[in-house]
Amino acid sequence: MAFSKDNLKGFVLALLSSFFIGSSFIIKKKGLRRAAAASGVRAGVGGFTYLLEPLWWVGMAIMIVGEVANFVAYAFAPAVLVTPLGALSIIVSAVLAHSILHEKLPQLGILGCVMCIAGSIIIVIHAPQESPITSVQEIWSLATQPAFLLYVASVIVLVFILIFHFAPRCGNTNALVFIGICSLMGSLSVMSVKALGTSLKLTFEGKNQLLYPDTWFFMLVVAICVIMQMNYLNKALDTFNTAVVSPIYYVMFTSLTILASVIMFKDWDGQTAASIISEICGFVVVLSGTILLHTTKDFERSPSFRGGYSSLTPGLSPITPTLSTRLCSGNGELLKHDQDVPSEDFCRQEMY
């Protein structure tokens, strides 16, 4: 399928968005550290002193610029194209974490970056072209179809379960709780962002969509979802290593967003089986790259991660912690309370 002008615009905007968002992760992380050092209360345990930290606001401003670019990209290109390109922000984040946060990026991590780029290229080449939308009322009819309403209901139920049941019990020991909330709400925010962006695009073309209440409803949903995402993303960043948060958030957020887009906007309707399979393969390559980036990180010598067997038992040779240890240990703040308990055993005690 030919690469249309609208897809090209969306592609360029998505690239710019990835650069800004990837940078903002590192800057906000440093701001959160400064705020925690100054007040003694971390965002991961309910602190909000980071709101007084200028560096955190710089990171937030850069993230807003990236999100605006991403917002506009969704008005031109389908979510199946724009969302997977977010993997490039992980590359930016990994490179900056290596140089600023001193989190080592080994050779296999570089291979993971290359895989992310290769997978993104495959997705871009086989990206679908959207059916033209002439009014926000068309989008509303897509949003109120039974299949998508079922998806929305499922997301809301899962979010409530995570917030009220799992977050108080294991939110600070399992990264999937905070990141899961961000990802679930993110899939709804992207659908609303795309609807709102399309409405504004039509308005600028002379077809005023601000007269319809549907446009304002989508704007309200965007505001609610973004506020929730920001809150729980801050908690995840402050509690866990950047190398844990970035790839897991990308994988969950992208998978759920593509699922939501396929249900609501029917992105794959009209595409050949070969194109769909190619897109899925490209996405799998990107996922593999992010996982490789994550698993090859040298957490033990990172200043933002102090877990691992070597730091607890000097007699043991340094080894890289398993994925479950990383998820449980986060930044290592919990481990410092009991230096005699191996990290995996401590996790089990905390979880049970």
Asked if 263 and 151 touch (Cβ cutoff 8 Å), the reply is yes
Rg value, the chain, Cα:
21
| 82: Cβ contacts below 8 Å, ≥ 6 apart | 10, 14, 70, 73, 74
Distance CA 219, CA 186 (A): 14
Asked if 324 and 312 touch (Cβ cutoff 8 Å), the reply is no
- CA separation, residue 140 to residues 198, 213, 330 (Å): 12, 10, 41
- CA separation, residue 344 to residues 256, 323, 329 (Å): 30, 10, 8
Q: The tokens of 224 are what?
A: 């609610």
pLDDT digits (tens, 9 = 90+) for 282-300: 888 888 887 787 666 544 3
Distance CA 58, CA 238 (A): 17
Asked if 246 and 112 touch (Cβ cutoff 8 Å), the reply is no
What is the torsional sign of CA 235, 256, 111, 96?
Answer: negative
Identify the H or E element spanning 306: none
Asked if 120 and 286 touch (Cβ cutoff 8 Å), the reply is yes
pLDDT digits (tens, 9 = 90+) for 103-116: 667 777 788 888 88
Of residues 22, 30, 25, the one with CA closest to residue 54: 30
Distance CA 76, CA 152 (A): 24
Look at residue 145 in the predicted model and tell me its pLDDT: 94
For 194-221, the three-class secondary structure string (H helix, E strand, C coil) is HHHHHHHHHHHCCCCCCCCHHHHHHHHH
Look at residue 45 in the predicted model and tell me its pLDDT: 59
What is the torsional sign of CA 194, 196, 201, 205?
Answer: positive
Of residues 98, 287, 84, the one with CA closest to residue 190: 84
Of residues 230, 305, 184, 241, the one with CA closest to residue 48: 230
Where do the domains of the chain lie? 1-102, 130-265
Identify the H or E element spanning 104: none
The angle subtended at Cα 211 by Cα 207 and Cα 214, nearest 5°, is: 100
Q: The tokens of 352 are what?
A: 């049970």
For residue 201, the Cα-to-chain-centroid distance in whole angstroms is 25
Per-residue pLDDT of the chain (352 residues; tens, 9 = 90+): 456 777 888 888 988 998 898 888 888 888 777 877 776 666 555 566 777 778 878 888 998 898 888 888 888 888 888 888 877 887 887 788 777 777 667 777 788 888 888 888 888 788 777 777 888 999 999 999 999 999 999 999 999 999 999 999 998 888 899 999 999 999 999 999 889 988 998 998 888 999 999 999 999 999 999 899 889 988 888 888 776 787 778 778 888 988 898 889 887 877 788 888 988 898 888 888 877 876 665 443 444 444 433 333 333 333 333 333 333 333 333 333 333 434 334 333 333 3
Look at residue 351 in the predicted model and tell me its pLDDT: 38
Look at residue 336 in the predicted model and tell me its pLDDT: 38
Residue in this structure with the two tokens 């340094």, named with its chain if needed: 318
Number of CB atoms found within 10 A of residue 195's CB: 29
Look at residue 326 in the predicted model and tell me its pLDDT: 32
